[in-house]
């Protein structure tokens, strides 16, 4: 193995920082829920407007792919319990350049996460606006500038929200796991009550049948709606991001990932069925989400008899909190991911500089928070339908690109890592596998993983065909990241398109030992010893471990 570049600390750099393992099974689930569970508060309105009577089908199609992505992440995060998520898996499986592309796509997603979720959080906040402004709604605080319908107060609120998030994260005040757990638990309880009350008291199967039969979208509308529906499930990454802080990650992460997949699917299907099967209390017509893209769940709660008077403001409050926490997790994740990428020499070391005063990656926080600010302003100034702000539509349009690109590379990494690194124990494996022999090692090819890959590829193609902003901005962002990567590597005298050697074996052992995953550690050591005894290959770095 060639020596590592000067100043490069292989094991320390790649086995992550000394983070305290303090996140429990409920804490791990809640980190995921704060990210994915908040999506339904954001996505329900725009997807129902796009897929019309077939909205539940759009949610189901995206949900099946999401379930496969969830199983893939459960396998990889339990096998490689390090912060970094999809970018780390791709780096290990496919090398530096692919790791950069996956990382760039996911960072783009996180920045849009900050923008979109801050905008939606204030959408829920604005539910209370008439109470503060004596009956005036957010639509009363708009100006029309030619084709642009600018909701200026909402823009000001969103910009202020993002600035607050940047300030909080630069100072190192992050949402603690306990706070996350409390808000998340309240949100789950509130959502469950709304779903149960909705189904029992107002849900009309006849109306659902009517909507499916007579309110169908065109093929292109459905393709757009279902590709948009993937945003209802983005955020599973967060469980992987906190893998390094999770107790017994190899045991807990598969459970929380599968639990999250099933519970989020249940909520998504339930809310989408409610959305097309309820009448508006005032108009007597099916629920109309026009003008309620920012607070769709509150609209549902408001139209449930008996509990609606209390449930609607309560839902708006919980929606505001959980969606704003989700936006905060975007700031945390984008800065953490870019910090991790710079440690792997994928981004300039400038991003990994830690503030001396606050001990936070302040530069990364400010840069990606700034990107989120620009995206928000761009979204608010984009022309939309007459009389309607296009902000949420534009940001949702962009959101799906990063997720699908990142997930696609993670699936490819799953295949490659199964082949090249059969030594690392996988406490959880995606079900349904075919046994094959690859370079003398017995490996299992994941059939469900392949189906998931095809599903994500389909959605990526749909995004590129139907999302007018994502198909331009997404690839441009990735190209910009590759150019930055090339310039940085050139300046550092590092190979531009070759993967740098790294001592994964020592790093893996260190991580498993720290996580007290002794079973996995012993299985790993035994597998490596067996391979060495069989092949006679000396040294510490076998194929798949370097």
Partner 1 sequence: MNLVLSPLGITLAVAFTVGLAGTLGWMLRVPPPAPRGATSSVRSVESIRKVLVPILDLGASVRAVELAARLNQGHKAEMVIVYVHEIPLQAPLAMPERDPRIQRALDAAAFIATQHAITPRTKVNVARQAGHRIVEIAREENADLIVMGISHQNRPNESPLGRVAEHVVRNAPCEVVVDRVPRQKVSLIPSEFN
Apex CA 175: angle with CA 171 and CA 179, to 5°?
Answer: 145
CA 400/CA 462 separation, integer angstroms = 10
Q: With respect to partner 1, which residue has the nearer C-beta, 274 or 430?
A: 274
At which residue do the structure tokens 């995004």 appear? 463
Distance of CA 152 to the CA centre of its chain: 28
CA 112/CA 395 separation, integer angstroms = 7
Q: With respect to partner 1, which residue has the nearer C-beta, 204 or 514?
A: 204
Tokens representing residue 493 in the block: 């005298």
Smallest separation (angstroms) from partner 1 to the CB of 191: 10
Q: With respect to partner 1, which residue has the nearer C-beta, 185 or 220?
A: 185
Smallest separation (angstroms) from partner 1 to the CB of 7: 36
Compute φ and ψ for 540, nearest 5 degrees: -95, -15
Tokens representing residue 66 in the block: 């999401």
Smallest separation (angstroms) from partner 1 to the CB of 530: 9
Q: With respect to partner 1, which residue has the nearer C-beta, 248 or 429?
A: 248
Smallest separation (angstroms) from partner 1 to the CB of 186: 15
CA 149/CA 379 separation, integer angstroms = 11
Smallest separation (angstroms) from partner 1 to the CB of 526: 6
Compute φ and ψ for 98, nearest 5 degrees: -65, -40
CA 409/CA 415 separation, integer angstroms = 10
CA 49/CA 221 separation, integer angstroms = 10
CA 93/CA 87 separation, integer angstroms = 10
Q: With respect to partner 1, which residue has the nearer C-beta, 56 or 449?
A: 56
Closest C-alpha among 342, 319, 358 to residue 194: 319
* Torsion over CA: 371, 372, 374, 379 (sign): positive
Q: With respect to partner 1, which residue has the nearer C-beta, 49 or 264?
A: 264
Residues in the chain: 546
Smallest separation (angstroms) from partner 1 to the CB of 255: 5
Element (H, E) at 170: helix 152-171
Smallest separation (angstroms) from partner 1 to the CB of 202: 5
Contact 36, 264 (CB under 8 A): yes
Smallest separation (angstroms) from partner 1 to the CB of 98: 32
Smallest separation (angstroms) from partner 1 to the CB of 113: 25
CA distances to 54, 152, 379 from 115, in Å = 28, 15, 9
At which residue do the structure tokens 């109306």 appear? 207
Distance of CA 488 to the CA centre of its chain: 27
Compute φ and ψ for 429, nearest 5 degrees: -120, 140
Q: Helix, strand, coil shares of the chain as percentages rounded to 5?
A: 70, 5, 25
Hey, how many other C-beta atoms are within 10 angstroms of the C-beta on 309? 12
Residues in contact with partner 1 by CB under 8 A are 25-26, 29, 192, 195-196, 199-205, 248, 251-252, 255-256, 258-259, 262-263, 266, 270, 273, 279, 281, 305-306, 516, 518-519, 522-523, 526
Strand duo 441-446 + 148-150: pairing? unpaired
Smallest separation (angstroms) from partner 1 to the CB of 439: 21
Smallest separation (angstroms) from partner 1 to the CB of 422: 16
Smallest separation (angstroms) from partner 1 to the CB of 527: 11
Q: With respect to partner 1, which residue has the nearer C-beta, 208 or 327?
A: 208
Smallest separation (angstroms) from partner 1 to the CB of 284: 8
CA 340/CA 349 separation, integer angstroms = 10
Q: With respect to partner 1, which residue has the nearer C-beta, 210 or 248?
A: 248
Q: With respect to partner 1, which residue has the nearer C-beta, 32 or 93?
A: 32
Q: With respect to partner 1, which residue has the nearer C-beta, 282 or 356?
A: 282
CA 342/CA 352 separation, integer angstroms = 6
Element (H, E) at 261: helix 249-276
Distance of CA 212 to the CA centre of its chain: 30
Q: With respect to partner 1, which residue has the nearer C-beta, 188 or 416?
A: 188
Smallest separation (angstroms) from partner 1 to the CB of 252: 6
Contact 331, 114 (CB under 8 A): yes
Q: With respect to partner 1, which residue has the nearer C-beta, 19 or 25?
A: 25
Hey, how many other C-beta atoms are within 10 angstroms of the C-beta on 424? 22
Q: With respect to partner 1, which residue has the nearer C-beta, 212 or 486?
A: 212
Radius of gyration of the chain (CA): 23
Q: With respect to partner 1, which residue has the nearer C-beta, 252 or 500?
A: 252
């Amino acid at each position: 193995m060639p020596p590592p570049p000067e100043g490069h600390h292989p094991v320390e750099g790649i086995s992550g920082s000394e983070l305290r393992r303090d996140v429990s099974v409920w804490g791990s689930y809640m980190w995921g829920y704060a990210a994915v569970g908040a999506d339904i508060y954001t996505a329900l309105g725009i997807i129902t407007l796009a897929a019309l009577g077939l909205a539940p089908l759009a949610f189901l199609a995206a949900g099946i792919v999401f379930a496969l992505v969830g199983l893939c992440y459960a396998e990889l995060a339990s096998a490689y319990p390090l912060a970094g998520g999809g970018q780390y898996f791709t780096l290990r499986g496919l090398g530096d350049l692919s790791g950069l592309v996956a990382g760039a796509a996911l960072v783009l997603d996180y920045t849009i996460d900050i923008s979109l979720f801050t905008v939606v959080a204030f959408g829920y906040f604005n539910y209370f606006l008439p109470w503060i402004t004596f009956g005036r709604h957010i639509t009363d605080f708009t100006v029309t500038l030619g084709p642009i319908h600018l909701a200026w107060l909402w823009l000001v609120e969103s910009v202020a929200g993002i600035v607050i998030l940047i300030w909080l994260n630069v100072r190192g005040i992050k949402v603690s796991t306990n706070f996350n757990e409390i808000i998340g638990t309240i949100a789950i309880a509130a959502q469950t009550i709304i779903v149960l009350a909705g189904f029992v008291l107002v849900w009309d199967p006849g109306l659902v049948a009517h909507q499916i039969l007579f309110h169908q979208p065109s093929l292109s509308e459905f393709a757009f709606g279902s590709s948009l529906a993937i945003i209802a499930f983005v955020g599973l990454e967060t469980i992987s991001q906190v893998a390094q802080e999770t107790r017994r990650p190899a045991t807990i992460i598969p459970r929380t990932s599968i639990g999250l997949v099933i519970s989020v699917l249940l909520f998504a299907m339930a809310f989408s069925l409610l959305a097309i099967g309820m009448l508006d209390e005032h108009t007597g017509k099916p629920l109309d989400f026009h003008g309620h893209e920012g607070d769709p769940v509150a609209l549902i709660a408001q139209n449930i008899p008996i509990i609606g008077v209390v449930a609607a403001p309560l839902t708006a409050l919980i929606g505001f909190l959980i969606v704003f926490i989700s936006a905060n997790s975007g700031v945390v994740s984008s800065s953490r991911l870019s910090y991790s990428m710079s440690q792997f020499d994928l981004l300039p070391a400038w991003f990994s500089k830690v503030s001396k005063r606050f001990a936070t990656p302040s530069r990364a926080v400010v840069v990606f928070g700034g990107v989120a600010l620009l995206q928000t302003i761009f979204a608010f100034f984009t022309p939309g339908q007459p009389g309607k702000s296009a902000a949420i539509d534009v940001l949702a349009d962009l959101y799906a690109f990063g997720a699908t690109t990142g997930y696609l590379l993670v699936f490819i990494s799953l295949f490659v890592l199964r082949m090249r690194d059969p030594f690392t124990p996988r406490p959880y494996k995606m079900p349904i596998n075919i046994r094959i022999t690859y370079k003398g090692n017995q490996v299992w090819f994941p059939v469900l993983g392949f189906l998931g890959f095809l599903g994500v590829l389909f959605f990526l193609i749909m995004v590129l065909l139907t999302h007018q902003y994502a198909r331009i901005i997404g690839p441009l962002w990735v190209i910009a990241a590759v150019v930055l990567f090339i310039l940085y590597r050139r300046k550092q005298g590092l190979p531009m398109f070759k993967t740098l050697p790294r001592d994964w074996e020592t790093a893996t052992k260190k991580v498993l030992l720290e996580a007290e995953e002794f079973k996995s550690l012993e299985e790993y050591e035994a597998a490596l010893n067996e391979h060495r005894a069989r092949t006679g290959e000396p040294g510490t770095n076998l194929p798949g471990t370097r």
